[in-house]
Amino acid sequence: MLKSKTFLKKTRAGGVVKIVREHYLRDDIGCGAPACAACDGAHAGPALESQPRDQASSLCPWPHYLLPDTNVLLHQIDVLEDPAIRNVIVLQTVLQEVRNRSAPIYKRIRDVTNNQEKHFYTFTNEHHKETYIEQEQGENANDRNDRAIRVAAKWYNEHLKKMSAENQLQVILITNDKKNKEKAVEEGIPAFTCEEYVKSLTANPELIDRLACLSEETNEIESGKIIFSEHLPLSKLQQGIKSGSYLQGTFRASRENYLEATVWIHGDKEEEKEILIQGLKHLNRAIHEDIVAVELLPKSQWVAPSSVVLHDEGENEDDVERDEERQLALKTAVSEKMLRPTGRVVGIIKRNWRPYCGMLSKSGIKESRRHLFTPADKRIPRIRIETRQASTLEGRRIIVAVDGWPRNSRYPNGHFVKNLGDVGEKETETEVLLLEHDVPHQPFSQAVLSFLPKMPWSITENDMKNREDLRHLCVCSVDPPGCTDIDDALHCRELSNGNLEVGVHIADVSHFIRPGNALDQESARRGTTVYLCEKRIDMVPELLSSNLCSLRSNVDRLAFSCIWEMNHNAEILKTRFTKSVINSKASLTYAEAQMRIDSAAMNDDITTSLRGLNKLAKILKKGRIEKGALTLSSPEVRFHMDSETHDPIDLQTKELRETNSMVEEFMLLANISVAKKIHEEFSEHALLRKHPAPPPSNYEILVKAAKSKNLEIKTDTAKSLADSLDQAECPDFPYLNTLLRILATRCMMQAVYFCSGMDNDFHHYGLASPIYTHFTSPIRRYADIIVHRLLAVAIGADSTYPELTDKHKLSDICKNLNFRHKMAQYAQRASVAFHTQLFFKSKGIVSEEAYILFVRKNAIVVLIPKYGLEGTVFFEEKDKPKPQLTYDDEIPSLRIEGTVFHVFDKVKVKITLDSSNLQHQKIRMALVEPQIPGINIPPEVSDMDLNGSGRKKRKLDK
């Protein structure tokens, strides 16, 4: 049956176009109930149970299916995901509305419907001839959809009655819309609100905690006192932004001060890029990462950023007066130079809430169900939740979701989602750091796994099309010990003309991951493999990452090869790219490869190849450094784990060998060669990587630190920086050069992916290369998969697809990749910080030599080379007499009671673990040497924070 919809559409040019859409109605769409003879075999995929075995409901004790409306799906997804809720009918009408309103909820619903144990069934009511309805005249889209949901619910109940006379199966409409429920009951449809139904499940009382509290009026606290001004409606905000009276930006809360935040303004105006917000009422219920509208205050009301550390730890959960007193304390007398543009939040354009990890602060009132939840992320306000499980949840990490923030409530309202486990346990803390850094780590879904090749897998004739057979070459891989996801392999051989042939062979992941399928979408979403201290979160399923794509030794593998002909001075004479088949002759570790190169007794083909590669790599590196490439340093640590408990038993900095550099040189060369090729072929849509030059102000700290040791660091170009770092040697202090390189690393900008058609500056500052991309790690980086696809099209080895040549879509992919890479870095640092704490927990108190990296007004930041560990020694403590501190910003130096500390001075510190705050355990550092009377005692606080990225957490006076 065919229906057609006709509507008029206005074009950009101002014309009007008539559009006719055909809408097909069918009578062979199944209801999803397996026992239904009328629909026998009409439904495919996950289906409902023939006799629902759900928990008994006191409201409807007979067997039933649930049919939720759109708002229930949008707001009560945590309830629907609970294992107790099964046999749910999701209507096409509802699914389409959810898709338009919330992409994350839509994805969660799709995941639940794909889980066969849940028995969720998607019913295509908009194409079923008995459940499709037309929009009536004067009826808005929302009312039409509500009516469509009721029509489907009524049809289901009548349809299921036909199955058998004694059959009591019913379909219950779950809706929180009062009018919709009333109309449903009038029409004879069993209908309940989500709360009524959940409370009727007497066997699952814990489900009540997962209910989102939606009605802001009913959740407003008893006092009724209005604290915050009303948020303006979106229409007024848009008008204000257009007229310039309001500014739109991203709200960034402060970690150190809960009464302060900044709003990063969207747009190109360089001035007013950042607006300061100070005080509870001006923050006006905005939460970190929300998109907000701000009103700039008159200049007479501008303030300076506060240097006070304020954490919201009050006992009385609604003590607004205390907050106002604290706000006044922030307003100290400052010079006019320090004042910043200041504003207030007038409305929320887009909420960017996510589920938050943290701990319950149990209410002091006996039998109280209302408690405050303290998030692990200090930028998030405390959240009020109702739970009957407070005693069970104390001392545990839990997840809470925010539901709303009424005007007369000091804190937002939320609901309990999940209990993660005991605080401090390795599995629990790993889960917390993955969730807090938004690292996708759920097991791969069946939909994704269905696109993997069937085992046993072998190379077919079809696979050999457009592919060279290079199995005869003496190829080998060199990786860290225990590496199973081997992306790259190398070979080097002498040609008959006396030149050398060098090949970099990269796993051909794009052969297995085809554009647009579920496997490709999931890899794109994850963006990168995340390496934690004892766990790897793969970007692609293990069958690919550790088996079919991994270039293991003595097995045939598909590769993408970059092959150069070079002379003995490492000058490139020819470059070619080809898809290939290789058979690696050895999988070596860096140490094994180094041993082969150094051993005079070994002269086999693999060793000869390695020596050739190593010799060329040294020439290539020398050439790069002469062009101005930087050799920077950052202390990387390696944990040695106990084989049974998996706890860290030793901690040391990673040792780098010549072979590390050898592999790196050829990976860089391959990346540069590929970047040139894809940009030549696709000037507008090549995926490239750039590293912007840092602004001169970034180098101030490095220049001053070097000057204090009578060394000059030039920073006008990368070349002059590289040269002056090479010359900055001190014979009686060999570690000084490493410290300078560590400081130089801190001055750098972040490298980012971008689309060539959306940017003019391609330069990679750190590598001193005019163009660069990532090609060599497609098992662990999605950027490399896109680059492989571009290169394959460029050499005629594969076909293109529309998204590959759409610079806007490519630009969106780059944004996600940059975010995922940043989050992966933070998660890795947090993992190192947590394992460092575990190490010192078992080690007790340790004293070690350290070097001063930074000098502050009230503290020194030190680096302990043995552990690659950074921490802060504070010289001011609560309730203790303050020592005499004199800070000199120019040198920089800090004088304490007659002892002067300079950057790079050697000190001795005591390291302990402070577990006084379960949620934020810290590594504390105290000065042991030099001896200063009254100072050489353990200070109160240090800044290695369990939840952060291993960077400074406590605000230092700068």
Interval 883-912 mean pLDDT:
80
Question: What are 911's strand-pairing partners?
Answer: 846, 925
Beta strands of 203-318 (E only): which ranges? Answer: 247-253, 260-265, 274-278, 291-296
Is residue 649 within 8 A of residue 642, CB to CB? The reply is: yes
Interval 440-458 mean pLDDT:
91
Is residue 467 within 8 A of residue 528, CB to CB? The reply is: no
The more confidently predicted of residues 442 and 390 is 442
- Sequence-distant (≥ 6) Cβ neighbours of residue 239 within 8 angstroms: none
| DSSP state string for 804-846 | GG-HHHHHHHHHHHHHHHHHHHHHHHHHHHHHHHHHHHHH-SE
Is residue 756 within 8 A of residue 683, CB to CB? The reply is: yes
Nearest one of 569, 520, 564 to 540, comparing CA atoms = 520
Among 321-335, 611-625, 936-950, the range with the most confident prediction by mean pLDDT is 611-625
The more confidently predicted of residues 163 and 33 is 33
pLDDT digits (tens, 9 = 90+) for 36-50: 777 765 556 567 887
The more confidently predicted of residues 21 and 469 is 469
Interval 589-609 mean pLDDT:
91
- Can you tell me which residue has the tokens 């010549």? 658
pLDDT-derived band at 218 (thresholds 50, 70, 90) equals very low
pLDDT at 956: 39
The contacts found for 322-330 with CB under 8 angstroms, 24 or more apart, are 323/259, 323/280, 323/410, 324/279, 324/280, 326/259, 327/259, 327/278, 327/279, 327/280, 330/257, 330/259, 330/260, 330/278, 330/279, 330/303, 330/306
pLDDT digits (tens, 9 = 90+) for 304-327: 877 666 666 654 555 666 666 655
Residue 913: phi, psi to the nearest 5? Answer: -100, 125
Nearest one of 287, 267, 249 to 375, comparing CA atoms = 287
pLDDT at 659: 85
**Which DSSP category does 444 fall into?**
P
pLDDT at 949: 38
pLDDT-derived band at 947 (thresholds 50, 70, 90) equals very low
**Is 82 buried (19+), middle (13-18) or exposed (0-12) by CB count in 10 A?**
middle
Interval 121-125 mean pLDDT:
90
Mean pLDDT of the chain: 83
pLDDT at 646: 58
| DSSP state string for 154-217 | HHHHHHHHTT-TT---EEEEE---HHHHHHHHHTT--EE-HHHHHHH-TT-GGGGGG-----HH
Q: What is the Cβ-side half-sphere exposure of residue 700, based on CA atoms within 13 angstroms?
A: 7
pLDDT at 507: 96
Share of residues in the chain with pLDDT > 70 (%): 86
Which range has the worst mean pLDDT, 140-154, 550-564, 637-651?
637-651
- Can you tell me which residue has the tokens 């940017």? 759
Give per-residue burial for 280-303: e unless 16+ CB within 10 Å, then b.
bbbbbbbbbbbbbbbbbbeeeebb
Which range has the worst mean pLDDT, 36-40, 501-505, 696-700, 936-940?
936-940
pLDDT at 319: 61
pTM: 0.79
pLDDT at 741: 83
Which range has the worst mean pLDDT, 164-168, 257-261, 488-492?
164-168
Q: What is the number of H-type helices and E-type strands within the chain?
A: 25, 39
Cα 649 from Cα 638, distance rounded (Å): 11
pLDDT at 165: 58
pLDDT-derived band at 957 (thresholds 50, 70, 90) equals very low
**Residue 592 amino acid letter:** E
Sign (positive/negative) of CA torsion 61, 67, 70, 73? positive
Residue 787: phi, psi to the nearest 5? Answer: -65, -40
Q: Taking CA 264 as the corner, what is the angle to CA 336 and CA 685, rounded to the nearest 5 degrees?
A: 140
Interval 678-690 mean pLDDT:
94
pLDDT at 945: 40
Cα 667 from Cα 621, distance rounded (Å): 12
pLDDT-derived band at 129 (thresholds 50, 70, 90) equals confident
Q: Is the pLDDT of residue 64 over 60?
A: yes
Cα 145 from Cα 153, distance rounded (Å): 12
Q: Is the pLDDT of residue 919 over 80?
A: no
Which range has the worst mean pLDDT, 34-43, 52-61, 665-674, 946-955?
946-955
Is residue 173 within 8 A of residue 193, CB to CB? The reply is: no
Nearest one of 905, 933, 938, 902 to 923, comparing CA atoms = 938
* SS3 call for 556: strand
pLDDT-derived band at 293 (thresholds 50, 70, 90) equals very high
Nearest one of 581, 336, 311 to 467, comparing CA atoms = 581
pLDDT at 308: 60
Which range has the worst mean pLDDT, 98-107, 562-571, 751-760?
98-107
Interval 742-754 mean pLDDT:
87
The more confidently predicted of residues 902 and 500 is 500
Interval 892-906 mean pLDDT:
82
Is residue 913 within 8 A of residue 836, CB to CB? The reply is: no
pLDDT-derived band at 468 (thresholds 50, 70, 90) equals very high
Among 374-378, 581-585, 883-887, the range with the most confident prediction by mean pLDDT is 581-585
pLDDT-derived band at 943 (thresholds 50, 70, 90) equals very low
pLDDT at 716: 80
Interval 905-929 mean pLDDT:
79
Interval 139-151 mean pLDDT:
91
**Which DSSP category does 935 fall into?**
T
Interval 888-913 mean pLDDT:
81
Q: Is the pLDDT of residue 872 over 60?
A: yes
Beta strands of 14-169 (E only): which ranges? Answer: 16-24, 64-68, 88-91, 120-123
Q: Is the pLDDT of residue 488 over 50?
A: yes
Cα 578 from Cα 673, distance rounded (Å): 13
**Is 98 buried (19+), middle (13-18) or exposed (0-12) by CB count in 10 A?**
buried
pLDDT at 4: 63
Q: Is beta strand 846-855 parallel, antiparallel or unpaired with respect to 893-896?
A: unpaired
Nearest one of 750, 647, 655 to 694, comparing CA atoms = 750
pLDDT at 652: 56
Cα 470 from Cα 234, distance rounded (Å): 62
pLDDT-derived band at 859 (thresholds 50, 70, 90) equals confident
Largest separation between any pair of C-alpha atoms in the chain: 97
The more confidently predicted of residues 765 and 219 is 765
Is residue 722 within 8 A of residue 629, CB to CB? The reply is: yes
pLDDT at 371: 87
pLDDT-derived band at 952 (thresholds 50, 70, 90) equals very low
The more confidently predicted of residues 410 and 726 is 410
Residue 393: phi, psi to the nearest 5? Answer: -85, -10
Region of 495 on the Ramachandran plot (φ > 0 left; ψ -120 to 50 alpha; else beta) = beta
pLDDT at 650: 59
Cα 812 from Cα 814, distance rounded (Å): 5
pLDDT digits (tens, 9 = 90+) for 189-211: 999 999 899 888 888 888 888 88
Stretch (H or E) spanning 572: strand 572-583
CA 757 → CA 270, 426, 684, 760, distances in Å? 23, 45, 4, 8
Q: Is the pLDDT of residue 572 over 90?
A: yes
Cα 814 from Cα 244, distance rounded (Å): 31
